[in-house]
């Protein structure tokens, strides 16, 4: 994920945009203050090899409410932000889409409350959102690999390598369960990569290709 953060920041700066970090996800957007800070070229140096994300991540119940999204909109407007790049899964991207749809209504409500003027409503009338899928499941069509999938696959192979000698020395069979929700990518590719003797994909795949199912 840090590679994606670095790419967004540096490309934004390259094209002349002012780029901001929003720390702790939507929670930081709702809380505002120091959670929204300007990024520069050096702020994303030496992070490619660092796991996780330098800007943090957090679940935010407040953003699920209109009141919370109103606070988030106000905090963005204070800095003139009308373009968002959101990295996350289904919940994060669904929230971003809802925020985009409500944007004009949120601005009008802020104007009625006296928090912004009519000129600001016109100036910041549109919110542009770019969604980058962060999911180890690799379950988003139209993209080669979602952010996190490659790292997850790497860890799976590390674990398999670690237990392989034990399995051989004790002459025992090991069953390894991997994540993936409704997508069997991690199971299939890790099985191919390690030369597994047997692979069971999720039940839903069997249902899809069963009698009367989609083929």
pLDDT tens, 77-127?
Answer: 999 999 999 999 889 999 999 999 999 999 999 999 999 999 999 999 999
Residue 102 CB contacts under 8 Å (≥ 6 apart), including other chains: 66, 69
Q: Are 62 and 68 in contact (CB under 8 A)?
A: yes
- Cα R_g (the chain), whole angstroms: 22
CA atoms in the 13 A half-sphere facing the CB of 167: 12
Is the per-residue pLDDT at 214 higher than 60?
no
Place of tokens 């069963």: 210
Q: Provide the token pair at 80.
A: 């003139």
- Domain holding 186: CATH number? 3.40.50.460
Last residue of a domain, one of 109, 133, 157: 133
For the annotated catalytic residues, the residue numbers are: 137
List the domain range (segments joined by +) for residue 193: 149-208
pLDDT at 181: 80
Residue 141 lies in a domain: no
Residue 116 lies in a domain: yes
pTM comes to 0.81
Nearest CA to 25 out of 51, 58, 49, 52 is that of 58
pLDDT at 211: 65
pLDDT tens, 17-54?
Answer: 999 999 999 999 999 999 999 999 999 999 998 988 99
- Domain holding 97: CATH number? 3.40.50.450
Cβ-count burial of 214 within 10 angstroms (0-12 exposed, 13-18 middle, 19+ buried)? exposed
Task: Calculate the average pLDDT of the chain.
Answer: 91
Nearest CA to 87 out of 38, 140, 45 is that of 140
């Amino acid at each position: 994920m840090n590679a994606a953060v670095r790419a967004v920041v540096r490309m934004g700066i390259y094209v002349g945009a002012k780029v901001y970090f929003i720390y702790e996800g939507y929670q930081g957007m709702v809380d505002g203050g120091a959670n929204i800070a300007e990024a520069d070229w050096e702020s994303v140096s030496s992070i490619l090899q660092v796991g996780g994300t330098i800007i943090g991540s957090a679940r935010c119940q407040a953003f699920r409410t209109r009141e919370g999204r109103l606070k988030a909109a106000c905090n963005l407007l204070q800095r003139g932000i009308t373009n968002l790049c959101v990295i996350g899964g289904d919940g994060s991207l669904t929230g971003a889409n809802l925020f985009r749809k409500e944007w004009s209504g949120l601005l009008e409500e802020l104007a009625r409350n006296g928090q912004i003027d009519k000129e600001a409503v016109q100036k910041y009338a549109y919110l542009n959102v770019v969604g980058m899928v962060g999911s180890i499941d690799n379950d988003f069509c139209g993209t080669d690999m979602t952010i996190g999938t490659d790292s997850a696959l790497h860890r799976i192979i590390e674990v398999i390598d670690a237990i392989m000698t034990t399995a051989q020395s004790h002459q025992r069979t090991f069953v390894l369960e991997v994540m993936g929700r409704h997508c069997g990518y991690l199971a299939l590719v890790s099985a191919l990569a390690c030369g597994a003797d047997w692979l069971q994909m999720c039940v839903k795949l069997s249902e899809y290709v069963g009698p009367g199912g989609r083929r």
